[in-house]
Amino acid sequence: MTPWYRSHLIPFGLALIAFLIITTGGWIRISGAGESCPDWPTCFGTWGFDITPEEQGEWWEENPDEVDSRGGTHRYTTYQIFTEWAHRGLVGIIGILVAYSHYTAWSLRDKIGNKVYRIHFVSSVFLIMQAVLGYVTVDLDNAPWTVSLHLFMALIFTVSLLTVGFAWWEKQEGLPDKLRVDKISERLAKYIWYMCIIVLVQLMIGAYLSTSHHRAACDIGFYKGWPLCQSSILPTLEQFGIMLNYGHRVSAVIVGGLLLYLERKANKEFNNSKSIVRTMLKTAGIIYFVNIILGGLYVVTAVDGSFLGWLSLMHLLVGVCVFLTLATTHLLINISIKEKNVTN
């Protein structure tokens, strides 16, 4: 008998918390709180967040080997410290809940199968890796590449939770018909998988740019900064920052074209009938083009090299939604369809 709370919903709840953790991580960046807790897992040697400037100064004096990119005399507000503290707290909470979910999957393994339990074990490993990367990010003073890698692992962890949820759902109750993919061409299924990887790489590059001094490499303002780069359609790519910015934008256009192609191919393959694949691809496409506008506004509204933090956060979260939509489509295809139903 299925428990009243439907145990397969637990991983989906955890995925929502993981998304909230990604959100708070982005908020930390835009509020300048990335180094507000210079040690880990404590914060200025304590477990609290109400740390006065004097107490911060004392900690720096006691830890001369530690370095803050803003200088040892910089002091953080209680609000900035709280954002980092809350982010870590959420990670601790999800760690406890993942352990509970892991135990539940183990106790129900006779009903849902060992495969679901093994997938859940992998997601638990991903959480540990994410926590380690969080430590590395703090230890290296939020170096752009660590922030990018931290986001990468957060997304992989979230997708692993969705994988557990759908696999658990399929074994416990069976996926509802509206989420089931009865038949799909092997080519379209592969294209969706490739698109997941491309969008993931895009997100990592975007995270790197937003936390480095290269984010204004293409200039700022309308026209010269966006949609052009250095007031040119094809700028000189001698500097790494310009090359990275321009590559990010060109790939964004390519991905947009590929999403339109996938949606058209899905419409043709399913003969314009209702299909979760068509719906998800259309949703991903709409969200993606909204995100292109947000990315443009992020550059256009910048003044004297200062960017609007909330736009940066929105750009990140909408991009994450695109990736998760495509990843969910891929999961539904692989979980609900059997090998014999895949056509060439």
- What pLDDT, in 10s, does the model give residues 308-334? 888 889 999 999 999 999 999 999 999
- What pLDDT, in 10s, does the model give residues 249-268? 888 999 999 999 999 999 88
* Domain co-membership, 148 together with 94: yes
Which residue range is the domain that position 212 belongs to?
Answer: 183-344
* Domain co-membership, 269 together with 325: yes
* Domain co-membership, 221 together with 194: yes
Instruction: Give the number of residues written for the chain.
Output: 344
pLDDT confidence of residue 329:
95
Q: Do 277 and 266 meet the contact criterion of CB atoms below 8 Å apart?
A: yes
Cα 281 from Cα 284, distance rounded (Å): 5
* Domain co-membership, 158 together with 81: yes
pLDDT confidence of residue 117:
87
* Domain co-membership, 168 together with 246: no
> Residue 98 pLDDT > 70, yes or no?
yes
Average pLDDT over residues 48-67: 89
For residue 227, which amino acid is it? P
Parallel, antiparallel or unpaired: strands 342-343 and 184-185:
parallel
Question: Per the structure, how many domains does the chain have?
Answer: 2
Share of the chain above pLDDT 90, in %: 45
* Domain co-membership, 167 together with 199: no
- CB-side exposure of 38: number of CA atoms within 13 Å? 22
Q: Which helix (H) or strand (E) holds 139?
A: helix 114-139
Q: 182 falls in which pLDDT band (50, 70, 90)?
A: confident
* Domain co-membership, 137 together with 193: no
* Domain co-membership, 170 together with 188: no
pLDDT confidence of residue 336:
77
* Domain final residue pick, 174, 198, 219: 174
Cα 269 from Cα 110, distance rounded (Å): 38
pLDDT confidence of residue 342:
40
> Residue 91 pLDDT > 70, yes or no?
yes
pLDDT confidence of residue 338:
53
Q: 96 falls in which pLDDT band (50, 70, 90)?
A: very high
Q: 5 falls in which pLDDT band (50, 70, 90)?
A: low
* Domain co-membership, 334 together with 206: yes
> Residue 4 pLDDT > 50, yes or no?
no
- What pLDDT, in 10s, does the model give residues 102-121? 888 888 888 888 888 889 99
* Domain co-membership, 166 together with 297: no
Q: 335 falls in which pLDDT band (50, 70, 90)?
A: confident
> DSSP of 7-50, one letter per residue?
GGGHHHHHHHHHHHHHHHHHHHHHTT-TTSS-SSSSBTTBS-S-
* Domain final residue pick, 145, 174, 203: 174
- What pLDDT, in 10s, does the model give residues 267-300? 888 876 778 999 999 999 999 999 999 999 998 9
- Residue from 173, 122, 184 nearest 330 by CA: 184
* Domain co-membership, 213 together with 158: no
pLDDT confidence of residue 172:
84
Cis peptide leading into residue 41 (ω within 30°): yes
Mean pLDDT of the chain: 87
Share of the chain above pLDDT 70, in %: 96
**What is the model's pTM?**
0.89
* Domain final residue pick, 115, 149, 174: 174
* Domain co-membership, 56 together with 107: yes
> Residue 213 pLDDT > 90, yes or no?
no
pLDDT confidence of residue 21:
92
Q: Which helix (H) or strand (E) holds 343?
A: strand 342-343
Q: Do 315 and 298 meet the contact criterion of CB atoms below 8 Å apart?
A: yes
